[in-house]
Amino acid sequence: MSENEAWEPKIVAIVCNWCTYAGADLAGISRIQYPPNVRIIRTPCTGRINPFYIVKALQQGADGVLVSGCHPGECHYLTGNLSARRKFAMLKRFLNYLGLEADRTIFTWVSASEGERFANVIRGVTEKVRKLGPATKLVKSL
């Protein structure tokens, strides 16, 4: 990458198939505009997401990682997002304790009917990460 003017935040969004992925679809179908900085990875459920995915994404050069799934109580698999919530509560605090900025790892809920919310989340997250600048910590120099 040449200099900061060319820099655009790179965000990895790991989302669940049943709610947030469908929410992203709805945002698309409804032609809601949101920043193109996000790369979406579809997983069956947030409970499926190994916290390692997040650390690994940060190491491989993602400037931010967003994880989003069904609202609590609405999980397709009943409680996948509840166990994910515990994992991520610990992970977020831990990464911040080590010295990684809290805004680089973001967790939220977006349901299948919330296209507008999905676009808002992406806008918000992109802005947060843009403010932080390019990731330097934990990034593997390739």
Partner 1 sequence: MENIEKKMREEARRLLEEKRVDVLIGYEAGTLPLTATPCFITAPEEAERLVWNRFCNHNLAKYVHDVISQHRNSQKRVKPEDRKKKVVGVVARGCTTRSIVIHLQERQYGRDEVVIIGVPCTGYADRRKVSQALGGEAVLEGALEGDVIRAVTEGGEKKIAVADVLADNCRTCRFNNPIISDVMAGEAAPPMNPEAEYDEVTAFENLPIEERWAYFVKEMGKCIRCYACRQACPSCYCPVCFVEQSRPAWVGISDDPSDTQVFQIMRLYHMVGRCVDCGSCVSVCPMGVDLRKFLKKLDKDAFELFQNRAGSSLEDLPPLSRHRENDNEDFIYHPEIGGHNT
Q: How far is the CB of 24 from partner 1 (least distance, A)?
A: 14
The DSSP code sequence of 43-66 is ES-GGG--HHHHHHHHHTT-SEEE
Query: Of 21 and 107, which CB lies nearer to partner 1 in the complex structure?
Result: 107
* Binding site residues, partner 1, CB under 8 A: 51-52, 55-56, 59, 72-73, 79, 82-83, 85-101, 106-109, 117, 120-121, 123-125, 137-141
- 116-121 — which CB contacts under 8 Å span 24+ positions? 116/27, 116/30, 116/32, 117/23, 118/20, 118/23, 118/24, 118/26, 118/27, 118/32, 118/34, 118/68, 119/27, 119/32, 119/33, 119/34, 121/66, 121/68
Q: Which is nearer to partner 1, 29 or 98 (CB)?
A: 98
CB of 47 to partner 1, least distance (A): 10
Q: How far is the CB of 88 from partner 1 (least distance, A)?
A: 7
Q: Shortest gap between Cβ of 122 and partner 1 (angstroms)?
A: 9
Q: For partner 1, which is the closer residue by CB, 6 or 36?
A: 36
Of residues 6 and 16, the one with the C-beta less far from partner 1: 16
C-alpha distances out from residue 74 to 13, 19, 42, 108, 111, Å: 20, 9, 18, 14, 8
